[in-house]
Structure formats: C-alpha cells, structure tokens
C-alpha cells in the first residue's frame, strides 16, 4: 500500500469515525428524547385507563346500590323473608339485571345461597362465595357460565335494605369487547384484555400444584375481537401475570410497526391476577420521525464522508507527491542514473529533504567520476604491470639469445652456426610465445556477443563429460561424475560460449587435482533457474582467493594469465546469470553457474537462427 493510499485511508477513517460518532450521538439523544416523550404519553393514557376503570367500578357499585334500595328489591326481600319461599323469584335477577343494564346479577339469600341468577339461572340454591368478605368497593371476579366458559366482570355486593336477615345483590358488568370499546381511546391506540384462564389445579389437576396456564393468544381480545399478532404481547402479559405489577415495553408487531405497550394486571380481592389489560400506543409517528432524522443524519454523514475522502485525496496527493518524486529519484539512483534531480519547492521538511537528495546525488556523481578515473588509472597500471610481467619473461631469453649471438661472432663458423641455429630457434619460440600472450589479451578485449539458443542443461553437461571424461581418468586419474536432474532444464544460451566457460571450469578443476580425485559436474533446477555446478576434491581455496578469483589477471597458477575465470564470469553475465564459488581449504572447490530457465514458447535449438560459424573448441579462455 502506497503512502498516498495510507494517508487517504487514515484521513478517511478519521473523518468517517468522527462523523459516525457525531451521528450516533445525535441519534441516541433523539431516540432518548422520543422515548421519554413516548413514556410520558403512555403513562398519561394508562392513568386515564385506570381512572376509567375506577369510574366503571363506581358505576357498577352505584347500579347495584340503586337496585338494592329499590322498592322492587325490598319488596322481594320482604316476601322471601316472610314466606321463606324464594322460588317465585327464580327469574327475578334476569329482570332486574335488564332494568339496571347489568351483565351479571345474583340475588343471594341470607344463608349465602343463590336465590336467583341472571347469568346462570340454574345456579339457584348453590352458595355464592363472593358475598363473604366483600367490601363496598367493586372487585374483579371470574364468573362461570352455563356454556362451560367463564367471563370476567367487575362486581359489587350490596345488601337489600329493609329486610332482616338481609338478602344481598351481587351485580356486575362484563369485561369484554364492549367494555374495551367504551374505554377512552386515541388514534393509533389499541386496547386488549387478556383473560387468564383457570389454572390446572382448579379442576382436574391430580398433582394439586397450581401451575400457571400457558399463554394462549386467543384469550387476548380487542375492541374488534381477536387481536392481530397477539403472541407479540406474550412477554409483557406473562410478566404482568407473574409479577402482578404494571409492565411496559415496546412490542414489534410487524417489520414496520411497533407499539409502546403497557400491561396492567387486574386483580381480584385476594390479589390474584385475573386478567391483563393491554394498552398499546402506536409509535408510528415517532418511528417515522426517527426514520426521517436518521435518513437525514445518514445523508449528511455520507456526504461528509465523501467530502472528507475527496479532501483526503487532495491532501494525501499534496503531501505524498514530493515523497513519491524522491522515491522515484532514489530508484533511479539505485539503477545507476545518478544524474536524476527532484524539484525543490517550498521551505518545508520535504523540500529540505529534496535539496539534500539533490546535493547527495551531485556528490555521488562527482565521487563516482573520481572513482572511475582512479580505477581507470589503476586498471591501466595493472594492465601495464601484467603486460610488463608477461612480456618480461619472453624478453629475457630474447635478450640472452641476442647477447649469445653477439658473443658467438667470435667463435668459429661451425660453432657460430650451431649457436645461431639454437638462438634463432629460441628467438622463434619466444616470439611465438609473445604472440600467444598478445592473442589472449586480444581475445579478452574482443569477447563475442552470445547467440542464444534453446538447449537443455543436460546436453551441455553431457558434452563436457564426453570431452573430458577420458582424458581425466587416463591422464590424471580423476573420476569424472555427472549428476543431472530428471526434469527438462531448458535455457536460452550460446552453446559454444557456455561450453567454453564450462570447459574452463573443468580444466581448472583438473588442474586443482594433480594427484587425482573426483570431479563432479551437476545440473539441477533451482526455482526459476538452473544451477550448474563443477566441484573438485582438490586443495581448495582460501577466503581471499575466493574473493579475488574472478578479478582479471588474478591467478593461482604458475603460468596462468588470470583471464580464464574473468572470461567465464563475463560469459555467464552476458547470459543473465551469475557465478559463485564455494570452497574451504582442504575440501575442494565448487563453482556454481546459475542461469535462468527459458520461458515456454522460446525457440528451440533446431528452430533457432542459422548456427554460428564460430568454431567450437575448448581450453583455457
């Protein structure tokens, strides 16, 4: 990742994080404010409901009270007390309930048994437990009905005045859909009543343990009958049933609708929760406002982030451009172009760096020029030294021979002739020697350009082995071994030059083992390259020798020119490869030529250009 990208990423993340933090804070705060408002609104409606509930309780109590003091009830009570016969009033409760618009009414005798029941006329003679312990206030009671069901109602108990012992009236109103429909409402508000069914211990529970019945969505009725998505209120209702306390929460009815719901437990005289009143207020407006604000926040945040990215892009480009120029200039310097310069603008740290870089490259170029000149002088000196050294050896016999010839003029003709023949022979030989020395130097100065062909490393090794194996074993008692990998190792090389380089290494190895040994030539692929190794078991080389071995005119031999390995290195370098030596004194030496494997599709040897007319050969380069 480039510096510009890093800077861009850093700036963008920083700005995005800041924008997100601000947006989140705003949203949380807004949500909190809305929640508070919603809670206040819900609490207001709940208190209204509770007041309405109390009002209904008072209505029921008043209705029953009104009945209890009516002439009709008092006359009935008087008759029953006087005659002791309540049977004529079997249907009286139905009539009175109709008149008083009560859903439930029972006339209970002094003994606590039902005299007449509006809701279940057949219950006459059965005890009504609600009359015992009932106070003035209305209370909640579940009333069983003839059809096997039960209904929840608000009840009140009042004695019928004027008759002793007193009869009592137990009247009530049903808590059902019509009750819910009469409750004060608001747009978007939903009211439901969950009727807690009788626990299993009530009827046929064998264990006797009062286990609360499971939540039944059908028991939740609203003003229009069944409440849609009733199961969504399960948690609230169950909590209210369990704790007996008012519970509030948010109910997610659909993916797009949520309500603030409050579950109000309705308890009987004994404190048992008989039903749960659900007041659900739609949060549609609030949710829409929140969505609107959220959308705006997201829009602003997205715009801010995009703007921040654009600014970051500009800033990163402005900051990173001089550094990128410096980096490119440094790469140019590394590749050898020391004349590169970077613009020097401004007065900041980057411009100081640019000026320092330019100064540095200027200094480096100057020093390189000086070094080149120094090396050139040193090379000439070395060349002169070598030439002097090489030429001095043949010149000395030439000088002695010429001096012998001069001295031989005093000898007899026969002796002079003999000396003259010997001297001319010596002169010819030494002159030939001089020519050979000069030829070698000429060859080194005129290294041919490689003519590349696609050949296998195996073929190169095999060619060297076939050429030198016999001579090595026959003359120097050297065991010649080859180790070639099985897979193909195609290379694009000049076969003649590589053969000559490899031959030079083989001959050097044979020279390093005058008393015999083992010479191993191997070829193995090494990643994208081929390693060709020539290893001997001779005396080996010192560290210093290893370091100087490829320097021209350096030799460890008595009669070497020191150009052989330099030429080998030159050949290998011309093929894009490298050569190295691994050696320790006494353990032999290994020369490693590393050449790149030819890419597929490059022409093979047969398909290559016409073969070079250069003659093949071997020997010391």
Q: How far is the CB of 95 from another protein (least distance, A)?
A: 12
Evaluate whether 263 touches 244 at the Cβ level (below 8 Å): no
CA distance 262 to 569: 93
**E strand or H helix that includes residue 25:** helix 3-68
**Spacing of C-alpha 14 from chain mean position:** 19
**Rg over CA atoms, the chain:** 58
Tell the residue number behind the tokens 């009709």, with chain if given.
72
The strand pairing partners of 233, in sequence order, are none
Query: What six digits make up the tokens of 42?
Result: 């819900």
Minimum CB separation from another protein for residue 36, in Å? 53
Q: Name residues whose C-beta falls within 8 Å of residue 327's C-beta, 6 or more positions apart in sequence.
A: none
Rank residues 125 and 488 by Cβ distance to another protein and give the closer one. 125
| 146 counts as binding another protein under rule CB under 8 A | yes
32, 69, 88, 242: residue in contact with another protein (rule CB under 8 A): 88
The token duo for 378 is 């040193």
One DSSP character per residue, 306-334 reads: HHHHHHHHHHHHHHHHHHHHHHHHHHHHH
Asked if 159 and 173 touch (Cβ cutoff 8 Å), the reply is: no
**Which range binds another protein by CB under 8 A, 46-54, 102-110, 140-148, 527-535?**
140-148
Length of the chain: 621
CA distances from 36 to 32, 41, 186 (A): 6, 9, 19
Give the range of 143-151, 168-176, 182-190, 280-288 binding another protein by CB under 8 A. Answer: 143-151
> Rounded to whole angstroms, how far apart are CA atoms 412 and 401?
17
> Per CB under 8 A, does 148 bind another protein?
yes
Q: Of all residues in the chain, what percent are helix, strand and coil, respectively (each to 5)?
A: 50, 20, 30
**Closer CB to another protein, 90 or 434, in the complex:** 90
Q: Which lies closer to another protein via its Cβ, residue 86 or residue 492? A: 86
In this complex, which beta carbon is closest to another protein, that of residue 126 or of residue 380? 126
Q: Which residues pair with 323 in a beta bridge?
A: none
Which residue in 5, 25, 47, 87 binds another protein (CB under 8 A)?
A: 87
Of residues 125, 165, 228, 249, which one binds another protein by CB under 8 A?
125
**Smaller CB separation from another protein, 198 or 369:** 198
Shortest Cβ 114–another protein spacing (Å): 11
Which residue, 238, 174, 248, is CA-closest to 230? 238
Q: Which is nearer to another protein, 97 or 452 (CB)?
A: 97
Comparison of 133 and 146: residue with beta carbon closer to another protein? 146
Shortest distance in whole angstroms from residue 198 CB to another protein: 14
Stretch that binds another protein, among 27-35, 115-123, 507-515, 522-530 (CB under 8 A): 115-123
**Considering beta carbons, is residue 122 or 306 the nearer one to another protein?**
122
Candidates 147, 349, 487, 544: give the one binding another protein (CB under 8 A): 147
Nearer to another protein, 91 or 587 (CB): 91
Residues 182-211 that bind another protein (CB under 8 A): 204
Q: Kindly indicate which of the ranges 145-153, 286-294, 568-576, 606-614 contains the residues binding another protein, using the contact rule CB under 8 A.
A: 145-153
CB of 111 to another protein, least distance (A): 15
126 forms part of the interface with another protein (CB under 8 A): yes
How many residues at the interface with another protein, by CB under 8 A?
Answer: 15
Quick check: 120 binds another protein (CB under 8 A)?
yes
- Least separation in angstroms between residue 163's CB and another protein is 20
DSSP 8-state secondary structure symbol assigned to residue 559 = S
Tell which one of 123, 142, 454, 463 touches another protein (CB under 8 A). Answer: 123
Three-state secondary structure along 105-149?
Answer: EEEECCCCEEEEECCCHHHCCCECHHHCCCCCCCEEEEEECCCCC
End-to-end CA distance of the chain: 49
CB of 142 to another protein, least distance (A): 17
Residues pairing with 483 in the sheet: 522
Are the beta carbons of 596 and 528 closer than 8 angstroms?
A: yes
Q: Does 124 bind another protein (CB under 8 A)?
A: yes
Nearer to another protein, 76 or 316 (CB): 76
76 vs 180 by CB, closer to another protein: 76
State how far the Cα of 290 lies from the Cα of 294, in Å rounded to an integer. Answer: 6
39 contacts: CB under 8 Å, gap ≥ 6: 248, 260
Q: Rule CB under 8 A: which residues touch another protein?
A: 86-88, 90, 120-126, 146-148, 204
């Amino acid at each position: 990742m480039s510096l510009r990208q890093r800077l861009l990423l850093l700036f963008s993340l920083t700005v995005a994080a800041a924008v997100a933090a601000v947006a989140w804070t705003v949203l949380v705060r807004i949500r909190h404010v809305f929640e508070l408002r919603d809670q206040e609104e819900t609490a207001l409606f709940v208190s209204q409901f509770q007041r309405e509930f109390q009002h209904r309780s008072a209505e029921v109590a008043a209705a029953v009270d009104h009945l209890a003091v009516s002439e009709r009830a008092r006359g009935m009570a008087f008759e029953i007390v006087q005659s002791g016969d309540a049977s004529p009033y079997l249907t009286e409760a139905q009539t009175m309930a109709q008149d008083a618009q009560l859903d439930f009414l029972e006339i209970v005798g002094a003994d606590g048994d039902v005299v007449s029941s509006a809701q279940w006329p057949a219950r006459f003679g059965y005890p009504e437990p609600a009359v015992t312990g009932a106070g003035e206030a209305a209370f909640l009671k579940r009333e069983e009905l003839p059809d096997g069901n039960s209904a929840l109602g608000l009840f009140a108990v009042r004695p019928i005045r004027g008759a002793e012992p007193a009869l009592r009236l137990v009247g009530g109103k049903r808590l059902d859909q019509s009750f819910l429909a009469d409750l004060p409402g608001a747009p978007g508000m939903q009211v439901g009543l969950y009727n807690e069914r009788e626990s299993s211990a009530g009827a046929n529970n064998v264990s006797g343990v009062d286990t609360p019945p499971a939540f039944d969505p059908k028991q939740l009725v609203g003003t229009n009958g069944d409440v849609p998505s009733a199961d969504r209120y399960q948690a609230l209702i169950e909590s209210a049933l369990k704790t007996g306390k008012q519970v509030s929460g948010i109910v997610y009815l659909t993916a797009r609708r949520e309500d603030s719901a409050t579950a109000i437990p309705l308890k009987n005289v004994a404190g048992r929760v008989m039903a749960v009143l659900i007041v659900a207020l739609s949060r549609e407006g609030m949710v829409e406002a929140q969505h609107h604000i959220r959308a705006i926040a997201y829009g602003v945040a997205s715009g801010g982030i995009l703007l921040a990215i654009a600014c970051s892009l500009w800033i990163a480009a402005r900051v990173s451009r001089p550094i990128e120029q410096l980096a490119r200039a440094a790469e140019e310097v590394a590749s050898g172009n020391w004349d590169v310069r970077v613009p020097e603008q401004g007065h900041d740290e980057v411009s100081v760096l640019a000026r320092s870089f330019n100064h540095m490259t200027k200094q480096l170029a100057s020093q390189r020029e000086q070094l080149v000149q120094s090396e050139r002088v040193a090379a000439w000196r070395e060349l002169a030294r070598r030439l002097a050294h090489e030429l001095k050896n043949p010149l000395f016999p030439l000088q002695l021979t010429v001096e012998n010839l001069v001295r031989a003029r005093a000898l007899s003709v026969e002796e002079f002739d003999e000396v003259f023949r010997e001297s001319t022979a010596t002169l010819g030989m030494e002159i030939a020697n001089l020519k050979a020395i000069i030829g070698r130097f000429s060859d080194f100065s005129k290294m041919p350009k490689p003519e590349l062909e696609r050949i296998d490393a195996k073929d190169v090794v095999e060619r060297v082995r076939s050429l030198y194996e016999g001579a090595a074993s026959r003359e120097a008692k050297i065991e010649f071994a080859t180790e070639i990998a099985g897979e193909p190792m195609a290379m694009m090389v000049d076969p003649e030059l590589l053969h000559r380089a490899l031959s030079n290494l083989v001959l050097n190895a044979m020279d390093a083992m005058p008393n015999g040994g083992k010479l191993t030539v191997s070829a193995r692929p090494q990643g994208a390259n081929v390693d060709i190794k020539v290893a001997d078991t001779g005396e080996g080389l010192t560290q210093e020798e290893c370091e100087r071995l490829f320097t021209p005119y350096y030799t460890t031999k008595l009669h070497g020119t020191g150009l052989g390995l330099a030429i080998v290195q030159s050949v290998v370098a011309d093929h894009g490869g490298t050569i190295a030596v691994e050696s320790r004194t006494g353990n032999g030496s290994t020369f490693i030529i590393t050449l790149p494997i030819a890419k597929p599709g490059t022409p093979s040897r047969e398909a290559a250009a016409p073969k070079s007319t250069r003659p093949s050969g071997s020997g010391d380069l």
